[in-house]
Amino acid sequence: MASTVEHISRATIRFAGDSGDGMQLTGTQLTNTSALAGNDVATFPDFPAEIRAPRGTRAGVSGFQVQFASEDIFTPGDQLDTLVVMNPAALVTNISDLRSGGLLIVNEDNFVDKEFRLAKVESNPLDDPEMDQYRVIKIKMTLLTRTAVEELELSTKIADRCKNFFAMGFVYWLYNRDLQPTLDFINAKFGGKPEIAAANEKALKAGYNYGETTEAAISTYQVEKAKLEPGKYKNIMGNQALAWGCITAAKLSDKDLFLGSYPITPASDILHELSKHKKFGVRTFQAEDEIAAVCATIGAAFGGHMSITTSSGPGIALKGEAMGLGMILELPMLIINIQRGGPSTGLPTKTEQSDLLQCMYGRNGESPLPVIAARSPADCFDTAIDAWRVAAKFMCPVIVLSDGYIANGAEPWRIPDYDTIEKIVIDHPGERAEEDPPFLPYKRNEDLSRPWALPGTKGLEHRIGGLEKEHETGNVSYDPDNHEFMCKIRQEKIDKIAEFIPELEVDGEESGDLLVLSWGGTYGACTTAVTQCQAEGLSVSHAHLRFINPFPRNLESLLGNFKQVVIPELNLGQLQKIIKSTFGVDAEGIHKLKGRPFTVSELVQQFKELIG
C-alpha cells in the first residue's frame, strides 16, 4: 500500500444515496466486517417513508451510518469522519453532519445538471466554497463500475446496480477492512445468479483497487480490535434480538410462542423474523388489523401459550380497549411497541420516544400495566425475557417499549449459552375432582397473582370477562365495595412488581451535582455523554431505567441524592412528567423531536450548561 496507515480508536462513516442505490446493504456489510474484525460497532439506518421515492430527489435519500471502534461504544457516532454520497441530493441533505476536515467521497458521475434539478440545487454543490473544509474525493464510480464489469456483458442497468459495491470497496481500502466476509456474503446471496455475483465481486474489488492504485494522497485508517468482554459475538439488530428473546423466553418456560400481529413500520420485522422460526414452536398470525391481533393474542394466552403482539404507535392506540380487557382478565402476555415519530401517522420511518404516556394511560378506567423498555439492539433480547418473567409471575400483560432507532440499529451481541439462562417456571393448576372444593379463578397468591388455569383441564372450567369480577370466585359482581377492592388490588399487584425487579444501578457516584436519568434508546448517547463529562471531572452520574412501571424501589432515594436531575428524551418530556407526578421531583428535561437520536455532543453541552 502506497499510503500511510493512521491508527485511530474509532471511525464514523455514512453512506448516502438514492433509495435504490443499496446503501443499507453497503452499510450493513461494513458493519459486519468491522464486527468480525473485533471492533465494537453501532449503526443507524435512516430511510424515507416511500418504498422508492422519486429517484434523485431529496425525499428519496436513504442513509446508513456506522461507527466502529477499538473501545466500547454505545452510539453510531455524532459527526461523520467519512461521508460517501452517490448523488447531489445525498450531498445536500447529509453534508452538515460531516466534521470539518472529514472525508467526502463523491460519485462524480451523478454531479450533472439533470441531477441538480432533481435535487433542487441551483448549481454544482461541490463548487460551494464551504466545501473547502472537507477533503473531497471525487470518483467516477458509475463509469468505473461499468468498466469493471464490462466483460460480463450485462445491461447498463444491471451493471450500474453494482456501484454500491464499488463504493464499499473503496471504503474497505480506506479503513483497511478485509474483503473476505463480503465476498462470502456475495456468494451466499447471489449464488443463484452467478453473473450478478461476479459483477458485484468485480465492483467491490475494483473499488478497493482503485484506492490502492490511484494516487493515494490520503492515508488509510486502522481501527484495532475492541476490548469487549470475552465470548462469542455476532451482530444483531433490535427487532431480531426481540424476536429471539421471545423465542427463548417461550422455551425457558416450556411453552410455544404465539404472535398476533399486523404489519406496521418499524415493527414488521419482528413478525418476519418470528415467522421463520416455526421449528421452535412459533405460531405467527398475521391478523386483519391490530385489534384482531391483540385479541387473538389474548385468546392464545387464555389457551396457555406465551403470547405476544407487536406494533407501533398508531396500532397500539387501536389496541387500547383490548389491552384493558387483558388487564382485567389478568392473563400474561407481551404487548410490544416499536415507537416511531408521532402524532398520528407522523414520521413512520423515524425514531421517537413519544408513546410512553399512551402506554401508561391509554386505556379506560383504572388500568395499570407494567412497562419495560429496551435500551439497545442487543438488549432487546434480555428485555423480552425479563418482560415475560414478570408477565408470567404476576399474571398480567406487560408492555415492552423499543423504538425505530433500536429496532433497525445493530450492535455486537455476546452470544449466551441457552442452557445457562435461568428457567422460567410456570405452575398451571391441575385437574380437580367433583368432590374437591370449587375452583377459584381469582384467588390470589402471595404475589397477588391468580392461577393460570388452562382450558382442557378437567374440573377447572371457568368463565372470564370484562365486567368487574368478584374477588376469588371471579363471578360477575356489581358490588360497590368489591369493585373498589378489585381496582386497588390490581394496582397493588403492579406496584408489588417493584419488589421483584432489581434496584436501579448508577453509573458514577451515588450522589453529586447531576443525575442523568434515561430510558429506552437514549441509553447509548447518555452513557457516552456522561462518560465524557466524568472524564472531564464533572460530578455527573447516570442511571438508566429498564422498568418504568413500576419504578425500581430505590429510585426515589436516588433522585434525592443529586442537586439536579435531568431527563433526556425524544419527546416533549413524558418520563419527566411521570417522575414529577410520582416523586414530586422537578427534573430538567432535554427534549428532541427530530426523528433522530441524540448526538453525544449535544448532550454533553447541555449537561455542562446545567452544572453551570
Partner 1 sequence: MSTELPVLKAADFGSDQDVRWCPGCGDYSILAQMKKALAAQGFPREKIAFISGIGCSSRFPYYMSTYGMHSIHGRAPAFATGLKSARPDLQVWVITGDGDALSIGGNHLMHAIRRNVNLNIVLFNNRIYGLTKGQYSPTSEIGKITKSTPMGSVDNPLTPLSVAVGCGATFIARSIDTNVKHLADTLQKAAEHQGTSFIEVYQNCNIFNDGAWKYATDRATKQDNVLELEHGKPLIFGAESNKGIRLNGLNPEVVELGNGIAEDDLLFHDAKAPEPTMAYLLSRMQQPEFPEAIGIFRQIDAPVYDDQLNAQVEAAQQAASDAKLNDLFNSGNTWEVG
Contacts with its own copies by CB under 8 A lie at 48-49, 59, 312-314, 316-318, 320-321, 324-325, 327-328, 339, 341-348, 350, 352, 354-355, 357-358, 360-367, 465-468, 478, 480-481, 483-484, 487-488, 490-491, 571-572, 577-578, 580-581, 584, 586, 592-596
Whichever of 262 and 519 has its CB closer to ligand TPP, that residue is 262
Count of Cβ atoms closer than 10 Å to residue 45 Cβ: 25
- 216, 228, 426, 593: which one binds partner 1 (CB under 8 A): 228
Residues 6-65 that bind partner 1 (CB under 8 A): 32, 35-36, 38, 50-55, 57, 59-60
Q: Does 314 bind ligand TPP (CB under 6 A)?
A: yes
- 295, 396, 399, 406: which one binds partner 1 (CB under 8 A): 295
- 264, 274, 292, 575: which one binds ligand TPP (CB under 6 A): 264
Residues 322-351 that bind partner 1 (CB under 8 A): 322, 325, 329, 344-345
The 273-302 site mask, x for binding ligand TPP (CB under 6 A), equals -----------------x------------
Nearest CA among 242, 236, 237, 293 for reference residue 263? 293
Q: SS3 for 283-319, per residue?
A: EEEECCCHHHHHHHHHHHHHCCCEEEEEECHHHHHHH
Task: Choose one: 208-216, 256-264, 300-308, 386-394; the region binding ligand TPP (CB under 6 A).
Answer: 256-264
- 259, 318, 327, 360: which one binds ligand TPP (CB under 6 A): 318
In the numeric block, which cell numbers belong to residue 228? 469487549
- 27, 125, 238, 304: which one binds partner 1 (CB under 8 A): 304
Residues 21-60 that bind ligand TPP (CB under 6 A): none
What whole-number distance in Å separates Cα of residue 151 and Cα of residue 306?
55
Residues in the chain: 612
Q: How far is the CB of 52 from ligand SF4 (least distance, A)?
A: 6
- 51, 188, 217, 535: which one binds ligand SF4 (CB under 6 A): 51
Q: Does 465 bind partner 1 (CB under 8 A)?
A: yes
Alpha-carbon distances of 422 from 156, 258, 392, 441, rounded to whole Å:
56, 21, 14, 28
The secondary element (H helix, E strand) that includes residue 33 is helix 23-36
Nearest CA among 476, 464, 494 for reference residue 326? 464
Q: Does 237 bind partner 1 (CB under 8 A)?
A: no
Whichever of 342 and 368 has its CB closer to ligand TPP, that residue is 342
Residue at 374: amino acid letter: A
Whichever of 418 and 478 has its CB closer to its own copies, that residue is 478
Residues near 595 by beta carbon (within 8 Å), at least 6 away in sequence: 341, 347, 350, 351, 352
Residue at 395: amino acid letter: M
Q: Does 52 bind ligand SF4 (CB under 6 A)?
A: yes
| Burial state string for 391-423 with b = 16 or more CB within 10 A and e = fewer than 16 | bbbbbbbbbbbbbbbbbbbbbbbeeeeeeeeee
User: 3-class SS at 245?
Assistant: helix
- 77, 315, 451, 550: which one binds ligand TPP (CB under 6 A): 315
Residues near 605 by beta carbon (within 8 Å), at least 6 away in sequence: none
Q: SS3 for 542-566, per residue?
A: EEEECEEECCCCCHHHHHHCEEEEE
Residue at 92: amino acid letter: V
Whichever of 461 and 586 has its CB closer to partner 1, that residue is 461
Q: How far is the CB of 308 from partner 1 (least distance, A)?
A: 11
Whichever of 135 and 462 has its CB closer to partner 1, that residue is 462
Can you give the binding site for ligand SF4, defined by CB under 6 A? 51-52
